[in-house]
Amino acid sequence: MSFAPLASPTQPHNRSPANATEAVTHPDPYPYYTSLATRRPFGFDASLGLWVAAGPEALTEVLGHPACGVRPAGAVVPAALADGPAGEWFGALVRMNDGPAHSAMKPWLNAQLATLHADRDTLVRLHDASQAACADAYLARGDAPAARLDDFVFRQPIYGLAALLGVPASQWTEVHEDVRALVAAMAEAGKPSPRADVLAHGHRAAAALRLRAARWLDNDAASDTWLQEVARRAAGNDSIDFAALTANVVGLFTQTHDACAGLVANSVRRLARGTNGISASADPTDLGVAIKTVSDVIRFDPPVQNTRRFLHAPAVICEQALAPGDAILAVLASAPPSATPDGMAWTFGTGAHACPGRSPASTIAAVGVHAIRQTGEDLSSLASGATYHPLGNIRIARFSA
Ligand code: HEM
């Protein structure tokens, strides 16, 4: 089955997206996604050069299929990142591997992340991290509220995760800078002509973050923290490779950077618009408002809208014959939202590579949104626009021009 446009263009602002990657930045992509899932749950989109899977059945089949890998066969590391610390780091990530490299680390990592709890002390630490992110966003962007908000939504989740894991507060600013540089280099590596300076920054950041992670696990993290506990458990487990562990601790930060920014930013936009009857001016001391908004965004305006798979062997998928080298766009945002807030959340994926960070992501984002509400900014004028960062997979509301 191949694609014809799903709807004819009318005006630029309310024309339907041309394809599933354009939908990510569309003001309201959900009617398009519903139509895609109903009319063409699996088909080849010539405009993207990709097979596109939409709706729960096709997504489950693709993301659970043994012939579908997370990276093109024989190319775990993007060519532009090879031969440097960023490439070496990338090649050790559970997110980027299938087979033994994935199964050796993923269940263990899942179990470690499951020990993070949102108790009172954790919320206090997250609150402190959000205040620090507010202050640093001010230093970075000065007195321009929209630019400051754009900075905050990326910065706060990194400070929050650092606080949650036990990274000393004195390192949060530099960790954020390095994570940003590494994420930028990963994005750059996927472009036709990657800029050498962006890649070089990424290599430098990867080396610095690996070194930091090794020190955190050694003894540089505050005592009684997740990092210290993980180091202790890893030392008693022969199957855990220390180099792979440091890479994947850094990987937690890069996984958080864009996805959690989308969760915070889209929540702020939802509040600004008063969607679902929650007003931006509801009691700013009520953390429940932020928790409810984040939970609604996970279901109704999710940050991660699609992910990719690459055929490693010939396979019949959704009744279509695919060949090695074919690639599939799995449109997570096309699956209908769960009927209950704690039900299946497609934005966190499914199958062997499903996200192990749903719970910390939701907690970090809720505390971040709460912190923004407490600044007293008039969100309805600041954040109710309709623009998004120009990404093809993650939907992140953008507030400054
Ligand atoms: C809003 C926040 C987040 C969203 C929407 C999200 C979504 C996702 C998705 C869709 C995947 C699977 C990608 C695929 O199958 O191709 C994934 C993988 C992953 N996520 Fe998250 N994530 C979020 C935050 C986090 C956080 C906070 C952490 C860590 C604390 C985290 C850690 C990971 C890891 C380690 C993987 C790789 C798992 C694997 O490949 O087996 N994520 N995430």
What pLDDT, in 10s, does the model give residues 195-254?
A: 999 999 999 999 999 999 999 999 877 788 999 999 999 999 999 999 999 999 999 999
- Phi and psi of 309, rounded to 5°? -135, 150
4 Cα: distance to centroid of ligand 1 (angstroms): 32
Residue 289 pLDDT more than 70? yes
CATH of domain 1-70+308-348: 3.30.43.20
Percent of the chain clearing pLDDT 90 (strictly above): 90
pLDDT in tens, 57-101: 999 999 999 999 999 999 999 999 999 999 999 999 999 999 998
Domain assignments of the chain as residue spans, ordered by start: 1-70+308-348, 71-304+349-382
Reduce the DSSP state of residue 99 to 3 states and report it.
Answer: coil
- Bridge partners, 304 (sequence order): 394
How much is the pLDDT for 277? 78
357 Cα: distance to centroid of ligand 1 (angstroms): 6
Mean confidence (pLDDT) of the chain? 94
Residue 5 pLDDT more than 70? no
How much is the pLDDT for 10? 37
* Burial annotation 128-141 (CB, 10 A radius, 16+ → b, else e): bbbebbbebbeeeb
Mean pLDDT across 168-181:
98
Mean pLDDT across 97-107:
94
Residue 378 pLDDT more than 80? yes
Asked if 312 contacts 324 with a C-beta cutoff of 8 angstroms, the reply is: yes
* CB-defined site of ligand 1, < 6 Å: 70, 94-95, 106, 113, 161, 251-252, 255-256, 259-260, 263, 303-304, 307, 347-349, 353, 355-357, 360-361
Length of the chain equals: 401
Which atom of ligand 1 is nearest the CA belonging to 263? 1
Angle (CA) 101 172 160, round 5°: 75
How much is the pLDDT for 86? 98
Give the CATH architecture of domain 71-304+349-382.
Orthogonal Bundle (1.10)
Angle (CA) 336 9 48, round 5°: 65
Q: How far apart are CA 395 and CA 303, in angstroms?
A: 5
Residue 12 pLDDT more than 70? no
Q: How far apart are CA 57 and CA 318, in angstroms?
A: 9
Complete edge-to-edge strand list for the sheet that includes strand 68-69: 42-45, 50-54, 327-331, 307-311, 68-69
